[in-house]
Structures are given as structure tokens and as C-alpha cells.
């Protein structure tokens, strides 16, 4: 079945869900209990390194990239000799990275891979977010669509070039379903309109994000079939995407960025520090602590999000192959092996392992890296 493009008019009640995300700007470093020395990092000889400016392109919704915000607020960037300059953009972020307007971009996977397939100077060097989406339908269709075999003939509503589309195509293909003949993908411009299309019967199944979108779907009487992790466990979403000329010119700075990022990962996984992190994010976003808890720490309501910092090269390769099979990319002369650079993360991980040899959280990351990136 052919792919269709639909731009539906979202209901007013759904617009509120979008508005919630509009306030997620990280509005300047407000300080934190663990704020470090801003005078620069020390090199191997103990000599201070002057902080270097590092341009970080990011989505204003900072709940999607918590490790970078923790690293900033707790002074880890400063301690590693980095002066972080966050550039918050609602649109055009991959294009901005590919034209050198930033050194690194914290979100998305599919657009950077598409750009890279066309020769754009973009490399994936780490991870930001995995999971986070749900599969929805009308209640009367829940039993039929509970298993993938029941999806044959279904109309699927998705945002173009979304992770959800690639995950579902991969899972359906693995189940023996032809995603070009047995189902029909309908491109819809945003999550509220996907919810509305399911409600009106314009599509049978929709893919949406968690948080307020999940709540909106439920409020309108729709059924959450399951988190998309049920289709592909720990599927990839956002990656750390580097501007290749910057990476080549100042690789050490990228290693220090990821070192600070990994220090934030330890804090993020420490239950004793969760309350302080939630409070800080609530302050930065002007949202309630309950809302931050839901979006960042509650897998039941946020689509089973994971913020694992690993590049996850093996799964990136799978996404690349799915993009090729779906006809989204025709990477002539571009090899995926050269689009993913795991060495920066490897070196940063080695550094935190050296500093904190008894931290189990880093030993776990090392094991994961050996199984998925080497």
C-alpha cells in the first residue's frame, strides 16, 4: 500500500499538550549543590586548561536531554574545560548542525542519518534517548491489533521520518508483513493530529510520544496498545550528533564533553540525588515536580524512556538498513561505518573508569559498549 500524507486539524484540547512543551527552555545556569570549579579543567600535569566554547544545538524540551542539563547545572562542563553554549531551536536543528552552526546536536536519529547518507558532515558519537513512544488505537480495535499479525490491512498514522515509523517497519518486516503492500502509512504532521486521526477513524493505529500526548489520547477515550519498546526492545531515538569538521579539529574537546556527560549519568542513576534533579528541572521549566517525574523518571507514563549515553552502533546500523529498505536513503559512496564514531565515547568512558574505578554504573556501561559497539 502506498504512503499517504495527511495534515489534519487538531482538536483544541490537544493544543494544550503542545503548549506544555513550549515552556521547556533551559533558561540559564541557576547553580546546583554540586557545582564545580568554573576555572577550567586540569590536564595530565595538573595545569589548568582554559575553558573552550562548545556550541550545543538542542530542542527546547530539556526533558529529552537531561544529562547535558545536569552536566551544565552541576558544573561538570566547566570542570572539564568546556564553556557550554546551548542553542535551542524548535526546527531545522539537523540542518543547522550540518552547516556548522553548532559543534554537537543532542537529538534525533533519522534526520541526521538521512543527511549523512547524502554526504553531510555529520557523525554519531553517543546516545541521548531511547524509547518514549506509544501505539494507540480505538478501544474496539484493541484485541485485533494486540498482535502484529492483526495489523495486515491497517492504516498507520506516523510523523514523517520518525523513529516510530522505522521501528514499526522493522518489527513488521521481522514478523513477515510487507510494509509496502500489507499496511498503509499515512504521514501526519504532529502527535495531536495523529491522535485526532485515530479518533476520527482516518487511521487505525497511531504512534505518539508519552507525557501529555499519552494523557490526551486516554482523555479522548483511545486505547494505549503498548509502548513501542514491545515492538523493538530499547529501540533507538535521539543520538549525540557531531559536526565532523569540529570533531576532527578539536576531538579532545568532544571527549571532555562526553566525560562531563558520563559524570551526569552517574548522578542521574543515583536515587539519593533524584529529588534534587527533579526540583532543578521543575525550576528551569516552570513545571511541577510531578510533571518532571512523569516525563523523565516514570517509565509507565513516559513510554519507557532510557537515557543511556552509549552510541549503540549495532542498533544504528539496523536503523540505517531499515531506511535503505524503505527507500528513504540511497547512500551511494557513504558507508555507515564512517557515519558512526564510537572512539570518542570509548575514550571518555575510559577516563571516568580511571577516575571512578569502583563505580558499578560505569562498569555496566563498559560491558554494554563491548557488546554493542566493538
End of a domain among 208, 230, 252?
230
Neighbours of 60 (CB within 10 A): 16
Choose one of 197, 230, 263: the last residue of a domain: 230
Q: How far is Cα 2 from Cα 65, in angstroms, rounded to an integer?
A: 35
Contact assessment for residue 42 and residue 79, using Cβ atoms and an 8 Å cutoff: no
- The pLDDT of residue 42: 52
Residue 215 DSSP SS3:
helix
172 and 117 inside one domain = no
Q: How does DSSP classify residue 306?
A: B
> Considering the domain boundaries, does residue 21 fall inside one?
no
**The pLDDT value given to residue 13:** 34
257 lies in the same domain as 351: yes
String of DSSP letters for 224-288: EEEEGGGTSTT-B--EEEEEHHHHHH-HHHHHHHHHHHHHHHHHHT-GGGHHHHHHHHHHHHT--
Tell me what pLDDT residue 296 has.
Answer: 96
Instruction: Please name the helix (run of DSSP H) or strand (run of DSSP E) that holds residue 207, with its range, or none.
Output: strand 205-209
The CATH code of the domain that includes 77 is 3.40.190.10
Whole-number Å distance between alpha carbons of 296 and 65 = 9
Q: Do residues 289 and 324 share a domain? A: yes
Given this model, what pLDDT does residue 26 score? 35
Domain shared by 324 and 186, yes or no? no
Name the domain count of the chain.
Answer: 2
List, for residues 132-157, the tens digit of each pLDDT value. 999 999 999 999 999 999 999 999 99
CA-based nearest residue to 19, from 307, 287, 290? 287
Q: Which of 228, 208, 231, 229 is nearest to 218 (CA)?
A: 208
User: In terms of domains, do 90 and 205 share one?
Assistant: no
Helix (H) or strand (E) holding 223: strand 223-227
Last residue of a domain, one of 230, 259, 284: 230
Q: Evaluate whether residue 344 is within a structural domain.
A: yes
Residue 212: beta bridge partners?
A: none
- How much is the pLDDT for 34? 52
- In a shared domain, residues 136 and 53: no
pLDDT for 354 equals 98
Which pLDDT does position 114 carry in this prediction? 97
Predicted local confidence at residue 362, as pLDDT: 98
145 shares a domain with 10 = yes
DSSP 139: G
The three grid cell numbers given for residue 166, joined into one nine-digit string: 522505522
Same domain, 122 and 140: no
- Give the residues of the chain that fall short of pLDDT 70: 1-48
Judge whether 90 lies within some domain: yes
For the chain, where are the alpha helices, taking DSSP H only? 12-21, 66-73, 76-79, 93-98, 110-117, 142-145, 163-174, 191-200, 212-219, 244-249, 251-268, 274-285, 289-292, 313-325, 343-355, 360-372
pTM: 0.87
246 and 355 together in one domain: yes
Q: Which domain holds residue 124?
A: 31-130+236-372
DSSP character at residue 130: B
* pLDDT 10s digits, 62-75: 999 999 999 999 99
Same domain, residue pair 136 and 93: no
pLDDT at 160: 85
Amino acid at each position: 500500500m502506498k504512503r499517504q500524507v495527511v495534515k489534519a486539524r487538531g482538536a483544541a484540547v490537544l493544543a494544550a499538550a503542545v503548549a506544555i512543551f513550549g515552556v521547556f527552555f533551559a533558561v540559564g545556569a541557576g547553580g546546583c549543590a554540586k557545582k564545580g570549579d568554573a576555572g577550567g579543567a586540569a590536564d595530565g600535569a595538573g595545569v589548568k586548561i582554559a575553558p573552550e566554547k562548545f556550541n550545543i544545538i538542542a530542542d527546547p524540551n530539556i526533558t529529552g536531554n537531561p544529562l547535558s542539563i545536569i552536566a551544565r547545572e552541576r558544573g561538570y562542563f566547566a570542570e572539564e574545560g568546556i564553556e557550554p553554549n546551548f542553542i535551542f531551536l524548535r526546527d531545522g536543528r539537523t540542518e543547522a548542525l550540518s552547516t556548522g552552526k553548532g559543534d554537537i546536536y543532542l537529538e534525533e536519529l533519522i534526520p541526521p542519518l538521512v543527511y549523512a547518507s547524502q554526504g553531510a558532515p555529520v557523525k554519531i558519537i553517543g546516545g541521548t534517548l531511547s524509547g518514549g513512544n506509544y501505539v494507540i488505537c480505538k478501544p474496539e480495535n484493541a484485541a485485533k491489533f494486540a498482535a502484529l499479525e492483526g495489523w495486515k490491512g491497517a492504516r498507520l498514522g506516523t510523523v514523517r521520518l520518525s523513529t516510530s515509523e522505522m521501528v514499526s517497519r522493522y518489527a513488521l518486516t521481522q514478523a513477515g508483513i510487507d510494509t509496502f503492500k500489507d499496511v498503509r502509512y499515512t504521514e501526519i504532521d504532529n502527535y495531536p493530529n495523529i491522535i485526532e486521526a485515530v479518533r476520527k477513524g482516518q487511521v487505525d493505529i497511531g504512534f505518539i510520544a508519552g507525557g501529555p500526548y499519552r494523557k490526551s489520547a486516554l482523555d479522548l477515550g483511545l486505547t494505549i496498545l503498548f509502548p513501542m519498546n514491545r515492538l523493538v526492545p530499547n529501540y533507538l531515538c535521539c543520538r549525540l550528533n557531531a559536526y565532523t569538521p569540529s570533531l576532527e579539529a578539536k576531538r579532545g574537546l568532544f571527549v571532555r564533553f562526553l566525560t562531563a556527560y558520563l559524570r551526569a549519568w552517574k548522578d542521574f542513576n543515583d536515587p539519593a540525588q533524584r529529588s534534587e534533579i527533579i526540583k532543578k528541572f521543575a525550576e528551569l521549566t516552570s513545571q511541577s515536580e510531578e510533571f518532571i517525574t512523569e516525563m523523565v523518571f516514570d517509565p509507565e507514563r513516559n513510554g519507557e524512556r532510557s537515557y543511556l549515553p552509549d552510541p549503540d552502533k549495532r542498533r544504528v546500523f539496523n536503523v540505517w538498513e531499515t531506511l535503505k529498505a524503505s527507500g528513504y536513503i540511497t547512500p551511494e559512496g557513504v558507508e555507515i561505518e564512517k557515519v558512526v564514531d564510537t572512539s570518542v565515547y570509548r575514550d571518555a568512558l575510559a577516563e571516568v573508569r580511571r577516575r571512578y574505578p569502583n563505580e558499578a554504573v560505569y562498569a555496566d556501561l563498559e560491558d554494554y559498549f563491548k557488546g554493542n559497539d566493538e
